[in-house]
Amino acid sequence: MKTITKNLIAFSIGLVVFTVAFRFSLSFMLQNRLFSNAWIVAITYGVLIFIIGWIFGKKDKINLPLYDIGFRFHLATYIICNLIAEIWYLMDLQSEYENIRAVHLTAIFWGIVLLIHFIIYLFTRKNAIKGLKKSEIFE
Amino acid sequence: MNKNNLLSELLSAWEETYKKGQLTLWIFLSLKDGKKYVDEIKSFVEVQSNHTMTCESQSLYRNLRKYQHVGVVDFETGEGNKGPERKYYFLTELGIELLNNFIERNINLFFSEQIKNLIISED
């Protein structure tokens, strides 16, 4: 099954850019004690990720409607967000008000959700041939 | 609503539903006829169906990508007419077998004497 598509790569690149920008802005604001403004950065980041996910996810479906209930995009998001967060701490770029425990806890709880998503995805594969929904191949 | 209008509306409604599942068969038939690029497939479908079937190029590309993904259609690039290279689509061995099985199970039954007579008969 074709899993890594052009649109998934484009989404991932956008996600890397926005996540690095988010990490930088968040750490900068916290370090400068701009606590009440940090949520604006977080919401902006969330909205931007949603928008690029929507755009590239839609384009991906139009190009080739792989029946994966969004799992590929979810997995890419999980890997990129958590990897960048880990690297951020490894490079000691975080503010003094950030704790790596939050990153690890996020990875664990999000990982559980991702695992559930994966199990559901495995069930839905019964209705697919080479990743395409049976009822959509010849429509 | 008079009888003619009713007949016309019912026919349109039936044809609309009927045609939805027909495009794959027409595309496969056009490729059985020989390798074709999208505009040729489109033209084949429209001409051979007496223009009862119409299809947008975008819709054809989308369908061909799906068929290619499942391995029933493939393409090779060939020279275009003064433009970029064209994709010439063809049925793979699996595609030919799929079409033959489909025809045998779903189309050939219309050629049995009894059904043929029923179709021809105007009563």
Query: Is B70 close to A136, i.e. CB distance below 8 A?
Result: no
Q: Is A113 on the interface with B (CB under 8 A)?
A: no
Residue type for B103, please? I
Q: Is A138 on the interface with B (CB under 8 A)?
A: yes
Number of domains in chain B: 1
Within a domain: B11: no
Within a domain: B116: yes
Q: Is B71 on the interface with A (CB under 8 A)?
A: yes
Query: Is B69 close to A138, i.e. CB distance below 8 A?
Result: no
Q: Would you state the structure tokens that stand for residue B57, as one six-digit string?
A: 């190029």
Chain A residue with minimum CA distance to B22: A139
| Confidence class for position B83, pLDDT limits 50, 70, 90 | confident
Residues of chain A with Cβ-Cβ distance to B20 below 8 Å are: 139
Residue A2's pLDDT is: 74
Question: Which residues of chain A from 6 to 45 reach within 8 Å of chain B, CB to CB?
Answer: none
- State how far the Cα of B121 lies from the Cα of A110, in Å rounded to an integer: 66
Within a domain: B59: yes
Cβ atoms of A52 and A11 closer than 8 Å: yes
- The DSSP secondary-structure symbol of B103 reads I
Q: Is B70 on the interface with A (CB under 8 A)?
A: yes
Within a domain: B39: yes
Within a domain: B77: yes
Residues of chain B with Cβ-Cβ distance to A139 below 8 Å are: 20-21
pLDDT per residue, tens digit, chain A (139 aa), is 578 999 999 999 999 999 999 999 999 999 999 888 889 999 999 999 999 999 999 999 988 889 989 999 999 999 999 999 999 999 999 999 999 999 999 999 999 999 999 999 999 988 999 999 998 998 8
Q: Is A64 on the interface with B (CB under 8 A)?
A: yes
**pLDDT tens figures, B26-46:** 999 999 999 999 999 999 999
CB pairs under 8 A between A and B: 24
Q: Is B24 on the interface with A (CB under 8 A)?
A: yes
- State how far the Cα of A130 lies from the Cα of B6, in Å rounded to an integer: 44
Query: What's the first-to-final CA gap in chain B, in angstroms?
Result: 24
Residue given tokens 């069930």 in the structure block: A123
Within a domain: B1: no
Reported ipTM: the value is 0.79
The alpha carbon of residue B98 is apart from the nearest alpha carbon of chain A, in Å, by: 12
Radius of gyration of chain B (CA): 18
Residue B48 sits in which domain range? 23-120
Within a domain: B18: no
Within a domain: B4: no
Q: Is A130 on the interface with B (CB under 8 A)?
A: yes
Residues of chain B with Cβ-Cβ distance to A132 below 8 Å are: 66, 69-70
- State how far the Cα of B88 lies from the Cα of B86, in Å rounded to an integer: 6
Task: Read off the CATH number of the domain in which B107 is found.
Answer: 1.10.10.10
Residues of chain B with Cβ-Cβ distance to A63 below 8 Å are: 62, 65
